[in-house]
Chains A and B, each alone.
Chain A
């Protein structure tokens, strides 16, 4: 049985979601303000590492129902699909278009199709972090 800290156990679940929301904000705001898929993914990774600190590899595994390599693969597929999709309508690879949506409260929001690509990058980085914990995270489970 590993030792657990009450303070961590109580605070990490809350902080985890707060940080995740922040990472998603960075992902979607990235096109116009500091942020983007890569930074967003790293911040989400930091959130995952918080869970690791509080509960070890089991806590990390319970983050996502998907296996780490599945997450990683989905990320690459999303990004590659976004890159190749314009070819189907006769445009060069990675052409991006955009539309302006009027969303209540937020006002006019310009959505670029490059966002889909960025989402792929985000998922990839999260998957990468999960993979690293999967690779090295359970090594000392017995000792703890």
Chain B
């Protein structure tokens, strides 16, 4: 099973690396992994439907019980079928959607394959930490796919928003996983769910896990990232942001629900979250004129429905959840494809601007049937799912069951209304009498419609003969509840309450759709409901402001202050080490004037003269040359003391630095200005004096410490036998302390790039040296927090973030 995931990774990276020249034809290699996955699944499906599970374990870090556990059971098989099946169709669709050549098309297809592999990994993972890893991989793929057109500021802002939101939720989830894993003593999901842990930490752990699931599956109040993600090309919206990735949270809730429904917080929390999301998502969908955003809010609403069903945790509701999950993947992917086709052929997807498209018969059929499935009209797959959902909720036997049924039916009324609005708006131009008719020459080809037609066929097939799904639905449900339930889907269950509710839904939905124009002002009030998006933008704004404030304080821009801080810190640590040291005997030295001492005294005299000269002289060039004199005197001192290697390095460094010094000094005045006040000069004098005194004393103490230093002696001793070098200094640099050297040259590289960027940024033609003036707006847009992705604010954010990088490009 692991090899399936590996194939996705290999093919994905190959396409990213070498597929750019293929352009749109990169779709052919991209199709290989999902097709292999489907073929592999087909050979295993029979056994899985019979109740078998396949599992594999690859040991990873056995010390902490981390293993790459994968497991395929009924529910996993259903998810793999959705992920790879929709994947194949979306790739087929994308092959017609994109132009033959487009920027970064190879990367896009490669990322789609990588995402597909990560998603398959997520649904077969049988270890909490492995699942977390795949979870984050899907978020990262989503980030790159939403931001594929990285030259567009809204795309960058939307991808960052999606990544930050789902990423923060995932961190909370990881925390919850660790709490659960420690409470259970195992991170293996199957054994953890078979014997769920009990204890004080379980409830908080579940809340944390739920945070992750809610952010990923766009539950209120974290739903805001999903409509924003609609800036991505339509194939990506159809695949990641409706059919698969956003189901990851639902998947997790489905897995956990049967085991943890007994924990007091689980059912109320999940069901309340789902019901709120379902209702609010439906309300928001009714107000959209952009067809993709309408569908996005529809997805939010349907995900809420799935949370309600799986959160209830009864056998029947989980079975209904599995059916709804499948039905939703089928009809929502189709609708996205249809809207993408309209966008592609006409150039807009705004209801107000579209012509009448009803003459395009095949497209109309696809849209009408899939929208009917979303609305729950009989003889479609969606009806079977919704009916099963109603039935399960009516007989849930919980205290608040009645309230849940009321909310779900109300939301379904809204679902019917926005489905009708989608069809009416896209095919009949929203009833606008002035709208033009569709240009016949732009009618989409059957090849373009192909994948949508296939999915529509499934909607009809499973709507008419739902019994076909009994096997896989039963296997999925049995795998989740660890019992043999048996699911029997049928169109007709006789006259019962669920059928009545369906009738009410359709009737009321029709009424809502007909009076939609009149209740728009009332719906507009819905935008007053606070939204996570406002909090998100507020946090982002606050972080930027905070960073700006901190930088303003810490980075004063004054070189003397920087130097003073650096020097005082350098002095503080050795000085504190000197406290309490014995003072006797540190001034002992050689008694007689040996030649070495005489030479040293001579060199030191020159050195001191050069030092004092450099400090008092007023001409910059002269000061630089005197500093060089200090350096060369040091080199001479090294020679006298018998360290040729150090002397050589010092001479080389000094020569080079003198040249560079002169290079930079040309841009400065010839003399030092004499403007610094007396206090400032005194302060600098104190700092210099204390640095000198501490370094002097420290050197004395270090030399008086006559104990043999074992490290240095051992390095000298082992230099030749171990490293085959007689030059100990070099052996230390490249061998004993090679890691340090590697780190140092890396820092050098970073510093050099920074220096070049800074020096050039000021001089770039046509670009002002100062950063562009910041647009300091409050974290609200003039159109209110519910408006389409707040362009103004997001642009500002992007510019602030980009400002950091300005001038980095050479």
Contact = CB atoms under 8 A, between A and B. Distances in A.
B734 A37 contact: yes
A131 B149 CA distance: 32
B420 to A, nearest CB: 60
Interface string B747-770: 011001101101110010000000
B755 to A, nearest CB: 5
A135 B652 contact: no
Interface string A110-144: 10101101101100110111011111110110000
A135 B760 contact: yes
Contact of B753 (A69, A80, A118, A129): A69
Interface stretch (B266-274, B366-374, B537-545, B718-726): B718-726
Given A72-B749, A79-B742, A131-B755, A39 B724 contact: no
Interface string B583-601: 0000000000000000000
Nearest to B746: A76
A140 B668 CA distance: 12
A133 B760 CA distance: 12
A24 B752 CA distance: 23
Contact of B659 (A26, A49, A134): A49
Interface string A80-103: 100100000000011010100000
B723 A112 contact: yes
Interface in B689-743: 723-727, 729-731, 733-735, 738-739, 741-742
B559 interface: no
Contact of A42 (B653, B664, B759): B653
Contact of B652 (A46, A110, A128, A134): A46
B262 interface: no
Contacts of B663: 52, 132-133, 136-137
Contacts of A112: 723-725, 735
Interface residues of A, number: 53
B810 interface: yes
Interface stretch (B243-251, B517-525, B642-650): B642-650
Nearest to B729: A36
A134 B756 contact: yes
| Consensus secondary structure, chain A interface | helix
Contacts of B760: 135
B755 A135 contact: yes
Contact of B724 (A94, A98, A131, A132): A98
A75 B745 contact: yes
Tell which of A36, A93, A112 has the most Cβ of chain B within 10 Å.
A36
B556 interface: no
B632 to A, nearest CB: 14
B656 interface: yes
Nearest to A26: B648
A118 B723 CA distance: 13
A125 to B, nearest CB: 8
B660 interface: yes
A11 interface: no
A93 B738 CA distance: 9
Nearest to A75: B745
B666 interface: yes
A115 B663 CA distance: 33
Interface in B621-655: 644-645, 648-649, 652-653, 655
Contacts of A104: none
A124 B745 contact: yes
Contacts of A128: 748-749, 752
Given A35-B648, A131-B756, 13 more contacts: A30-B727, A36-B729, A39-B648, A42-B655, A76-B746, A79-B741, A79-B742, A110-B724, A115-B734, A127-B749, A136-B759, A139-B666, A139-B667
5 contacts: A45-B652, A112-B735, A117-B741, A118-B734, A129-B656
Interface of B: 644-645, 648-649, 652-653, 655-656, 659-660, 663-664, 666-667, 723-727, 729-731, 733-735, 738-739, 741-742, 745-746, 748-749, 752-753, 755-756, 758-760, 763, 810
